């Protein structure tokens, strides 16, 4: 039987693929390559169920390990704390992101205040997701047994940090070009 940790890891893979799809569509829109599409909302909605399942399983595993005094990876305590805090931040900023675009969708008339709201919330959501993924991706590689050599975790984590930072910069620049650049023209 497959373990709950591996199911959670598979959910993470699904979520990352769906997030990349949502992010690519958003980036193409922000950079002016494509026009607005209802697919933005559809891909966002499809993220909801795997994310909720991931949250429930993660919390269950976290509290189960805490109650038994289990520390599966003793050197990863700060990473686990960062993962928990960034996960909470994702929930907060994803909720604000959804609410913001529900009240003032892309492509419609917008005020300076809504643009500023979208800019701040979206960037905080990007940062929260980046902080979460920089810990989650190496940990799920451990769960599948891919990082079993000495220093493999640290080497892989360093590469993930660079990749996540590059994507984060690209997303933030897109937001700057769209919101700040649009306000200047």
More confident of the two residues 44 and 174: 174
For the chain, the DSSP string reads ---HHHHHHHHHHHHHHHHHHHHHHHHHHHTTSS---THHHHHHHHHHHHHHHHHHHHHHHHHHHHHHT--S-GGGHHHHHHHHHHHHHHHHHHHHHHHHHHHS-TTS---HHHHHHHHHHHHHHHHHHHHHHHHHHHHHHHHTT---STTHHHHHHHHHHHHHHHHHHHHHHHHIIIIIIHHH-
Count Cβ atoms below 10 Å from residue 34 Cβ, excluding itself: 14
pLDDT attached to residue 163 = 92
Please say if the pLDDT value at position 72 is more than 60: no
Highest mean pLDDT among 43-52, 66-75, 84-93, 106-115: 84-93
More confident of the two residues 93 and 62: 93
Q: What is the pTM of this model?
A: 0.82
- 46 closest CA partner among 28, 25, 21, 83: 21
pLDDT in tens, 163-173: 999 989 988 98
pLDDT in tens, 9-63: 888 889 888 888 888 887 888 788 888 777 777 777 788 889 999 999 988 888 8
Please say if the pLDDT value at position 185 is more than 60: no
- Residue 108: which pLDDT band, with cuts at 50, 70 and 90? low
Instruction: For domain 4-184, give its CATH number from 3.10.105.10, 1.20.1300.10, 1.10.3720.10, 3.30.450.20.
Output: 1.20.1300.10
- 124 closest CA partner among 80, 75, 168, 174: 168
pLDDT attached to residue 77 = 65
């Amino acid at each position: 039987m497959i373990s709950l940790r591996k199911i959670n890891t598979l959910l993470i893979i699904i979520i990352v693929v769906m997030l990349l799809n949502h992010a690519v569509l958003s980036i193409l829109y922000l950079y002016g390559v494509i026009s607005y599409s209802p697919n933005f909302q559809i891909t966002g909605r499809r993220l909801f169920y795997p994310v909720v399942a991931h949250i429930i399983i993660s919390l269950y595993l976290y509290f189960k390990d805490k109650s038994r005094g289990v520390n599966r990876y003793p050197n990863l305590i700060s990473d686990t704390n960062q993962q928990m805090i960034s996960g909470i931040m994702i929930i907060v900023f994803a909720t604000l992101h959804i609410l913001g675009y529900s009240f003032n969708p892309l492509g419609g008339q917008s005020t300076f205040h809504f643009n500023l709201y979208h800019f701040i919330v979206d960037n905080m959501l990007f940062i929260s997701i980046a902080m979460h993924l920089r810990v989650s991706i190496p940990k799920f590689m451990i769960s599948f047994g891919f990082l079993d050599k000495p220093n493999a975790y640290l080497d892989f984590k360093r590469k993930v940090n660079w990749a996540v930072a590059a994507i984060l910069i690209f997303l933030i620049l897109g937001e700057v070009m769209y919101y700040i650049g649009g306000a200047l023209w």
